[in-house]
A and B are shown apart, each in its own frame.
Chain A
Amino acid sequence: MTLVEVQDLVKHYPGERSWFGLGAPRAAVRAVDGVSFTIASGRTLGLVGESGSGKTSVGRTMLRLQEPTAGKVLFDGNDVFALDAARLRALRRRMQIVFQDPYSSLNPRMTVEATLREPLEIHRLNGAVSALLEEVGLDAAFAKRYPHELSGGQRQRVGIARALSVEPQFIVCDEPVSALDVSVQAQVLNLLADLQAKRRLTYLFIAHDLAVVRHIADDVAVMYLGKIVERAPAAEIYAQPRHPYTTALLSAVPEPNPRATKQRIVLAGDMPSAAHPPAGCPFHPRCPHPMKSDRCRTEVPALRPITTGHLAACHYAQSPMTLADAAHQPLNRPRHQ
């Protein structure tokens, strides 16, 4: 059963106006440019992309932490963007967020107990702070501590406990482990997986790293410059990526076996500015696909099904690029590692 449905979500950040707000505005930053997906109850969608691809904006706009430019989000049948203040507040109990940076996501002037008690007060719930701490694997003694007395992993656990305090059904995990040490990353990922199983949670798991998503996601969507370029079940996308950007991202996943030879595609240049996206396929200036043509420069490829359940936005998704192909591109010479 579908719990969350995002339809053609658009979020533009308007450009500053010069001349004290009277001049012509600069070009808007098109952070999210027509994103659609659904997440079934109890499942996890991994949303992957590099910095600036708009993945965080998707998460925050979905929860209406910022107002959307266009589009629709249905949560369990409720139109999130059409709710009045009182009903939005009630809905906030059911959808929560866990942040990337555990250092800025906790109020430095509040103890752990005060942080966890606040949501209970807001929604008049009878939860116990100690039970929440126990659920995320922290000792009840942590309740009296301030955030600066905790390690990054402990803070992130407090952030998770805060999200759990209102007993949500859906949690946006906005790169919850990317600020943590590798050893701690695994612990927090396992905690999130355990909580999902125990509480039947639905996750939108945002990450910039396909390796992390592999552990937790049922489906994966890859974002580039405000658009989803590929979406498929996790196993499928790792086995047979259809979009050259996904192929490049996968080639960057570290290989645990040191003897294995591995080719890596290093994309040329940086992601273009979202205020001035390139015409045609947004990925074409950096695309290492051997069949890249004029069509890519002029015509925006639609996100279309390639095989059942596997969508990609590439004109040449039927004949996906291989690592060997990338080697022939002068700009994108693979590096042997």
Chain B
Amino acid sequence: MTLGNWLALFVALVTAAEVVRALRHRALRRDQWGRRFFRLRTTSWGLGILMFLVIVALVAPLIAPFDPNRQLDIVHLTNQPPSWTFLLGTDPLSRDVWSRVVYGARVSLGIGALGALVAVALGTLVGAIAGYYRRWIDAALMRGVDVGLALPRIFILLMAVALWDGLPFAALVIAIGLTSWFGTSRLVRAEVLSLRQRDFVVAARALGAGSSRVILRHVLPNAAAPIIVAAALGVGNVLLLEAALSFLGIGVPPPDASWGNMIADGAPGLYTAPWSTFFPGLAISLVVMSLNAVADGVRDAMNPREDTT
């Protein structure tokens, strides 16, 4: 680690903390939405950690002291424990773990966010249509979901790999998204089924509101809490799925680093060099916990009843 790297890391940390503090300050003064969002202290922490990781991913070249894919010295520098030079040690191929974690944030956060977005969007769409229109549309969609849930996801993804032969990033995101929405659609459908019977939904229809308006303005906002929680948990699941895929050798192709394939690569050396699996694992856990904290905040913010005045 050079002085420049330390400085960049410090600036990233301070920026994240200050931005969250400023946001919180403004939100608390201004509107109810913000007040409800920041009601729990953990939300601020989660937001801060996520923001820090995003900044790190964006300015990775400034923070990482080494090229993440370079084998520094395959003879003398394998499995080095953490030190001031190699902040998180080196892996069995003598690559700097810190640099790989920093660069891996780009890949992992990207896949996690986009994959979960695709999954939740699809799941919400299918669940809302099935729950709102009922009848044969519901039956057809839900039988499809049953099939999707019954088939092992890894199997579907292996087939996708066989078709593509080495997945590009976009294809990986789409493949993960397309196989992760089944649970969400069930959840959304159940919410929509109960909401569509509620009087305010009937009232909207009596006023002449069309289906899309009823779904978008009356049904889905009231189903937002479980959807948001599903999305937050979904990001964690996608990160873990990506790790599992990397473990099978079909995730992010080497030598590029993702947190998932770092865990996979480091697993054989778990006893000699635990740091090369521990730190990417810690990063995944941090993201999942922070997301849950932020999801709690969003859920509270979406519900006007949570007001504490």
Contacts and interface: CB of A to CB of B under 8 A. Distances in A.
Contact of B199 (A92, A99, A165): A99
B206 A118 contact: no
B26 interface: no
B209 A122 contact: yes
B305 A162 contact: no
Interface in A95-121: 96-97, 99-101, 104-110, 118-119
Contacts of B203: 97, 99, 105, 159, 162
Interface string B210-223: 10010001100110
B199 A21 contact: no
B206 A107 contact: no
B208 A123 contact: yes
Chain A interface helix/strand/loop/mixed: loop
A166 B207 contact: yes
B304 interface: yes
Given A105-B200, A107-B200, A122-B213, A162 B221 contact: no
A146 B208 CA distance: 23
A295 interface: no
Interface string A118-148: 1100110000000000000000000000101
A63 interface: yes
Contacts of A63: 206
A65 B207 contact: no
Interface in B184-218: 198-200, 202-210, 213, 217-218
Nearest to A98: B203
Contacts of B200: 104-108
A104 B208 contact: no
B199 A118 contact: no
A63 B206 CA distance: 7
B304 A92 contact: no
A109 B207 contact: no
B302 interface: yes
A304 interface: no
Contacts of B303: 108-109
A92 B222 contact: no
Interface residues of B, number: 22
Candidate in B139, B207, B213 with the most chain A CB atoms within 10 angstroms? B207
A93 interface: yes
A92 B198 contact: no
Given A104-B198, A105-B200, A146-B304, A89 B208 contact: yes
A60 interface: yes
Given A107-B200, A122-B213, A92 B302 contact: no
Nearest to A85: B210
B198 A118 contact: no
Interface in A212-249: none
B209 A108 contact: no
Q: How large is the interface on A (under 10, 10 to 19, 20 to 34, 35 or more residues)?
A: 20 to 34
A216 to B, nearest CB: 21
A119 B206 CA distance: 10
Given A105-B199, A146-B304, A118 B205 contact: no
Contacts of A165: 207
A65 B213 contact: no
Given A60-B202, A97-B203, A21 B302 contact: no
A12 to B, nearest CB: 16
Contacts of A148: 304-305
B199 A93 contact: no
A109 B303 CA distance: 7
A96 B209 CA distance: 13
A4 to B, nearest CB: 15
Contacts of B202: 60, 65, 97, 99
A285 to B, nearest CB: 31
B307 to A, nearest CB: 8
A109 B222 contact: yes
Contacts of B210: 89
Contact of B305 (A60, A97, A108): A108
A99 B197 CA distance: 13
Interface string B32-46: 000000000000000
A122 B218 contact: no
A186 B204 CA distance: 27
Candidate in B208, B303, B304 with the most chain A CB atoms within 10 angstroms? B208
Contact of A92 (B139, B206, B217, B218): B206
A97 B206 contact: yes
Contacts of B304: 108-109, 146, 148
A99 B205 CA distance: 13
Nearest to B221: A109
A104 B218 CA distance: 12
A204 to B, nearest CB: 13
Nearest to A63: B206
Interface in A131-175: 146, 148, 159, 162, 165-166
A107 B207 contact: no
Contacts of A159: 203
Contacts of A108: 200, 222, 303-305
A166 B209 CA distance: 12
Contacts of A89: 208, 210
15 contacts: A104-B199, A105-B203, A107-B217, A107-B221, A108-B200, A108-B222, A109-B222, A118-B207, A118-B209, A119-B208, A122-B207, A122-B208, A122-B209, A146-B305, A166-B208
Q: Which 5 A-B pairs have the closest CB atoms?
A: A105-B199, A92-B208, A146-B304, A89-B208, A119-B207
Given A96-B207, A122-B209, A166-B207, 16 more contacts: A21-B139, A60-B202, A89-B210, A96-B206, A97-B202, A97-B206, A105-B200, A107-B200, A107-B204, A107-B218, A107-B222, A118-B204, A118-B207, A118-B217, A146-B305, A165-B207
Interface of B: 139, 198-200, 202-210, 213, 217-218, 221-222, 302-305
